[in-house]
Amino acid sequence: MRSRTKVLSLLCVSALAFLLCCCGMPDPAAPAEAPSDGASATDAPEKIQPQGMVYYAYFDTVSYVYDYAGDSAERFADRSAEVSHILENYHKLFDIYHEYAGVNNLCTLNRLAGGEPVPVERELLDFLAYAKEMYTLTGGQMNVMLGAVLRPWHDCREAAGEDPAHARIPAEEELREAAEHTDIELLELDFDAGTARIADPAASIDVGALGKGYATEKAAQYLERIGAEGYVLNIGGNIRIIGNRPDGSGWRTGVRDPLDPDGYALYIRIADTACVSSGVYERYFVVNGQRYHHIIDPDTLYPAGYYAALTVLTRDSGLADALSTALFCMDFEDSLALAESLEGVEVCWIFPDGEQRYSSGFAEWITE
C-alpha cells in the first residue's frame, strides 16, 4: 500500500478531474464501455458501473484507469495510485523537453549527445534496449533515433499552429542532412556501467512512437502481478485491458474513422489485450491546402502516405505501440507480412479512400 500522502494527492487529482469534467472533459466516472481516446463507442448500456480515475499530467495526454471488477474504494485508490506512480516515473524518464532534479532522462541524453556516457536508471536502459529490439523487429521503420528528422517537422507543426498563414514544411535539404544522424547504433547502452550515450551531437532520441505504450504495459503488468482483473487503462488512447469483465463479455469499443474522426469506422469487442491506433487525424498541420501528419516514413523522410489509420491488437501494449507506427510506414504487402509473421498480433488497416483490410484473425474481434 502506498503512503497516505500519495493517496491524498490522488484524491486531489480526482477532485481536479471532477472539476475539469464539469468543464466539458469526458467524464471518467461514467463510461458505458471501455473508453478509447476520449470518445469510444458507448451506446450499449453498461451493467457494472466502473470506478474511474483520471490523470491529466502524463505524456501530454489524458489517462484513465477503470475498475469493472468491483474492488473496494480503498483498494481501487491504492491500485490506481500505484498506476499513477508508474506512469509518472516513465513520464519523467521519457520527457525530451524537460529535465527533473535527481534523474537523468531522455532530455539529458539529448543534451549531452556526443559527450561522455550518462548514468541512467535501469528502467531507462531496459526501455532503450526494448526500443532497439523494436527497431530490428520493424526493419527500422520504428526508429527512436529519428529525432533529428522529427524535430524540424515538429517545429513546422508548432509554427503552423501559431501562424497558419505562413505555414511551411521543412526544406528537403534540411531533412536529408538530418537523416545522416539517425543511425540506431548511435544509441550506445552499457548495462554493466549503467550508462547510455548518444554518440553524435547532431542526433537525438524521440520516443513518441513507443513510450506511452511501453509505460502503459508496465502499469498493466503491475496490475496483473497483484492479481487485478477487469481493469481498463486508457493512456492517451493507448488501451490496455487487464483480464475480462466478470461476466466474460469483453468491452465494445470503436475504431475511430480517420475520414471523419468524430465517428467510428468499425466496432470491436476486446478483452485481455492492448489496442493501439496510429492515424493521420491525430496530429497534423496544413500547408497550401495539403495536410502533413506526424508519422514520418524513415525511407522518404515525409509523412507516410499508405494509410489513413491502422489499429493493432496484441497483448503487449509496448509492442502494439511500436507496431502501430512501424506498420503505418510500410506498403501493404510488407505491413501485412510483418503483422502475419507475429503471433498474437492482429491489425486493421484503413486506407485513404476508407477501404478496410484485416489481418487473418482480426475479423474475430469485430462486433456490431
Give strand pairing partners of 267.
Answer: 254, 367
Which does residue 206 bind out of ligand AMP, Mg ion, none, counting CB within 5 to 8 angstroms by kind? ligand AMP
Report which residue's Cβ sits closest to ligand AMP: 208
Question: Is residue 37 involved in binding ligand AMP (CB under 6 A)?
Answer: no
Cα separation, 136 vs 209, whole angstroms = 15
Question: Is residue 54 involved in binding Mg ion (CB under 5 A)?
Answer: no
Question: Is residue 150 involved in binding ligand AMP (CB under 6 A)?
Answer: yes
Min separation Cβ 229 and ligand AMP, Å: 27
Min separation Cβ 295 and ligand AMP, Å: 5
Question: Is residue 298 involved in binding ligand AMP (CB under 6 A)?
Answer: yes
Cα separation, 269 vs 364, whole angstroms = 9
Residues 6+ apart with CB under 8 A from 37: 234, 236, 237, 256, 277
Cell numbers for 13: 487529482
Cα separation, 236 vs 276, whole angstroms = 10
Scanning 73-81, 267-275, 306-314, 324-332 for contacts with ligand AMP by CB under 6 A, the matching segment is 324-332
Burial label, 289 (beta-carbon count in 10 A; 0-12, 13-18, 19+): exposed
Comparison of 132 and 283: residue with beta carbon closer to ligand AMP: 283
Total residues contacting Mg ion by CB under 5 A comes to 4
Cell numbers for 349: 488497416
Question: Is residue 36 involved in binding Mg ion (CB under 5 A)?
Answer: no
Out of 79, 256, 269, 294, the residue judged to bind ligand AMP by CB under 6 A? 294
Report the relative pairing of strands 118-119 and 195-198 from DSSP bridges: antiparallel
Site for Mg ion in 155-184 (CB under 5 A): none
Question: Is residue 62 involved in binding ligand AMP (CB under 6 A)?
Answer: no
Min separation Cβ 311 and Mg ion, Å: 11
Give 237-260 as a DSSP string.
TEEEEES--TTS--EEEEEE-TTS
Which does residue 208 bind out of ligand AMP, Mg ion, none, counting CB within 5 to 8 angstroms by kind? ligand AMP
Which does residue 142 bind out of ligand AMP, Mg ion, none, counting CB within 5 to 8 angstroms by kind? ligand AMP
Which does residue 296 bind out of Mg ion, ligand AMP, none, counting CB within 5 to 8 angstroms by kind? ligand AMP
Comparison of 80 and 317: residue with beta carbon closer to Mg ion: 317
Cα separation, 352 vs 242, whole angstroms = 33
Question: Is residue 324 involved in binding Mg ion (CB under 5 A)?
Answer: yes
Beta strand ranges found along the chain (DSSP E): 51-55, 63-67, 118-119, 187-190, 195-198, 231-235, 238-242, 251-256, 264-270, 274-279, 284-287, 290-293, 309-314, 346-350, 356-358, 366-367
- Chain position carrying cell 510500410: 330
Site for ligand AMP in 262-281 (CB under 6 A): 278
CA distances from 182 to 146, 201, 318, 324 (A): 5, 11, 21, 20
Q: Which positions touch ligand AMP (CB under 6 A)?
A: 141-144, 146, 150, 206, 208-209, 278, 282-283, 294-296, 298, 321, 324-325, 329
Q: Which positions touch Mg ion (CB under 5 A)?
A: 209, 321, 324-325
